[in-house]
Structure 1
């Protein structure tokens, strides 16, 4: 993004969020892009965000969005959300599950610590994964693995602030990533296959409904990414609402990086 920003007259430089040598107040705007190491120390990260009055996206949105239990709020608001069972560290393991399911941490990024299990055949591995997360004091989520993901993947709808509010910019398709149990791979994220995509009217409608639930209003956001998958009937269903540190897939759409740079210019006032 440095070259597109420079073309818009913006002097930009990368900085690491936990670097004590950075004078954050010296910047007109601090734009979150890839702090993918926040998950193991989220409390520290959200405290850092709360101290930044010039942060995009805003700190209260970051706090809300970095715990995937927000999915229950979206579901309660009528957004079609993939069914999600929350497993707290103080609770027992869920019973009666069957079929193809996903386990992931409620606080996590880049599909790290996520795995896919065929129940009951892989029940032991499924329970071991849940126990590993909850024994570490982490809340886990269990969701059905929707079969269409293997065929069509996820569709990511990217929105940028156009000055008069958050507007759809472009879409990308992410290939299926979870093929089996979590193998404890370390790193900040799992590699993804990304291709350009066209957003359907039905997908746009779901994305708009999801964005309308953002605390404080959607138009405070500089950017957003809405990740959708088809349910068993083919209807778009939200799997995640990415407002903190998503890849925005600028390379999949001509002009997307320039639109982002223009949004940054407007946000600097």
Structure 2
């Protein structure tokens, strides 16, 4: 029987709601799966026929260590998230590359560690004079960890937040806060091997006057959603642009495209998750079994 490691993190133990339904679905598909933490030094990765990233959700402050583990794991087993994809997608600088390829992206300014934070923030606010609220967050992050929403009147508090990220040698992002999310939420479209599976609505995560979450990730309000045709079209464009940027011969095993409405109500890209997204199996009947069947079929083929 094919042995698969579903990769989590010690810090994420018990937090991944996808793991239980996926374990059950893999058993029905004839796959022997075990949950293992990437940062557990006792795991022998060569004992597995494949490993698939699921919830290594502490990598944002340990990126170098995590990428070293990915390289090590790739030399011992078949890592179903190819290393070039992981390196590209764990840092949101990829948004700039997708924007350059014509993808409508939430307007984003990247601020690098050697930059003075207050002048960088003031330049951003001057360039977005119609922006009443904005977001500061790290370019390597997940689950809204270390992200916060600010009003223009909170310039110095935001600059201090920016300084903390830069002082920790973390690149940061400045984005206008698109308040359509307060009513409409985000639309997350989930794809398996390039085929649309299902979509969910995420409620707004960043509340006014709330600091960054102290937890591994912010709590999410999730409900099923039927995406609009415009959202479907944009998600397809995003995936095609990513494949082109990465020169991939086939679609990733899974992908989640997170969209948000701009000020004119048109969808734009907030994030593209190719490495460790929640896939929200509980909100789409049969989705875990479809994914397990795809996984079994993928493992029957030789690596590309």
CA contact (8 A) 1:129 1:182 kept: no
- For residue 141 of structure 2, the aligned residue among 108, 132, 145 is 108
Which residue is equivalent to 1:255? 286
1:231 paired residue number: 262
Give me the whole-angstrom Cα distance separating, in 2, the residues matched to 1:227 and 1:201. Answer: 15
Q: Is the 8 A contact 2:180 2:262 kept in 1?
A: yes
Where in structure 2 are the equivalents of 1:122-137 lying within 5 Å? 122-137=154-169
Paired residues, number:
264
Mapping of 1:106-255 within 5 angstroms?
106-119=139-152, 121-161=153-193, 166-181=194-209, 183-214=211-242, 215-217=246-248, 219-255=250-286
- Alpha-carbon deviation of 1:264? 1.1
8 Å contact 1:125–1:181 — kept in the other structure? no
The residue that corresponds to 1:42 in the other structure is 63
2:18 corresponding residue in structure 1: none
Deviation of 1:64 after TM superposition, in Å, equals: 0.5
Structure 2: distance between partners of 1:182 and 1:264: 40
Shift of 1:181: 4.8
Deviates more, 1:23-32 or 1:152-161: 23-32
Contact 1:159 1:225 in 2 (8 A): yes
- Normalising by structure 1, we get a TM-score of 0.95
Offset of residue 184 of structure 1: 4.6
Report deviation, 1:220: 4.4
Larger CA deviation: 218-227 vs 109-118: 218-227
Q: CA deviation at 1:47?
A: 1.5
Root-mean-square deviation over aligned CA pairs: 1.3
Q: Please report how far the alpha carbon of residue 182 of structure 1 lies from its aligned counterpart in structure 2 after TM superposition.
A: 5.7
SS of the residue corresponding to residue 117 of structure 1 reads strand
Q: TM-score, normalised by structure 2?
A: 0.84
- How far did 1:112 drift? 0.4
- Please tell me whether the aligned partners of residues 53 and 81 of structure 2 are also in contact (alpha carbons under 8 angstroms): yes
Higher helix content, 1 or 2: 2
Structure 1 residues 80-112: Cα deviation after superposition (integer angstroms, max 9, x where no partner): 100100011111232240521011100111110
The unaligned stretches of length 5 or more in structure 2 are 1-21, 126-130
The corresponding residue for 1:86 is 110
